[in-house]
Amino acid sequence: DTGVSQDPRHKITKRGQNVTFRCDPISEHNRLYWYRQTLGQGPEFLTYFQNEAQLEKSRLLSDRFSAERPKGSFSTLEIQRTEQGDSAMYLCASRSGTHYEQYFGPGTRLTVT
Amino acid sequence: AQSVSQHNHHVILSEAASLELGCNYSYGGTVNLFWYVQYPGQHLQLLLKYFSGDPLVKGIKGFEAEFIKSKFSFNLRKPSVQWSDTAEYFCAVNGFQKLVFGTGTRLLVSP
């Protein structure tokens, strides 16, 4: 089963450090999404890619956040100068161009101390 | 802006009880609606979806949902829950390419 994979699954970092997460989508999916989920909330949209093009970014995505999908395959999400408020589960999802349902990865849980 | 409301934040049921979880959405365009489930320690999984056609859609594990356009609702139902249905359930609407989720409902089924 080649579902969406994310690495690392857990990350603990100190405030002010930079972190980078990776997402590998389902291979034939050309759309890739990043969401953030905090305790007691549903996932909130951050950004999405169609192939290598980043087509939309949420206002939640401050200047400290950057995402890339350089070859239209895997994607990275980088957070610079982490803050305690960045502590959350970061979810990646992908879908094909013809079907609207998104398939989610296991997430990366970030804890900023 | 799109939004999704899930009225029940926590639900506790005994096995074999019937389940209905409420979901209301706000979106002006053509809607695609979803229910996702997150079992303890697992990632979000698609339970069922509505795009068009028959407003009563059936998903995995005996779940179904009914789209009522006039009420902007997409409630999730199951006639008889099992202990293994203990999970968090999220309603979502697809608006302008991205999913907008409700806050989720935690369901606890006691044996």
In angstroms, the first-to-last Cα distance of chain A is 35
CA A92 from centre of chain: 5
Q: How many CA atoms lie within 13 A of A40 on its CB side?
A: 2
Portion 74-103 of B in contact with A at CB < 8 A: 90, 92, 94, 96-103
Whether A109 has a pLDDT exceeding 70, the answer reads yes
Interchain contact, B94 vs A100, CB within 8 Å = yes
Is A45–B103 a contact, with Cβ atoms under 8 angstroms apart? no
Summarised one tens digit per residue, pLDDT across range A47-99 is: 999 999 999 999 888 899 999 999 889 999 999 999 999 999 999 999 988 88
Q: Given a cut of 70, is residue A105 above it in pLDDT?
A: yes
pLDDT confidence of residue B28? 73
Q: Which pLDDT tens digit goes with each residue over B36-48?
A: 999 998 999 999 9
Chain A to chain B Cβ contacts (< 8 Å): 51
CA-wise closest residue to A26 among A101, A78, A90: A101
Q: Is A104 on the interface with B (CB under 8 A)?
A: yes
Q: How confident is the model at residue B27 (pLDDT cuts 50, 70, 90)?
A: confident
**Chain B touched by A1 (CB under 8 Å):** no
Residue A112's CB: how many other CB atoms inside 10 A? Answer: 19
Cβ-nearest to B43 among A45, A101, A106? A106
- Lookup: tokens for A84: 């305690």
CA B106-B33-A50 angle, to 5 degrees, is: 110
Closest residue in A to B90 (Cα–Cα)? A42
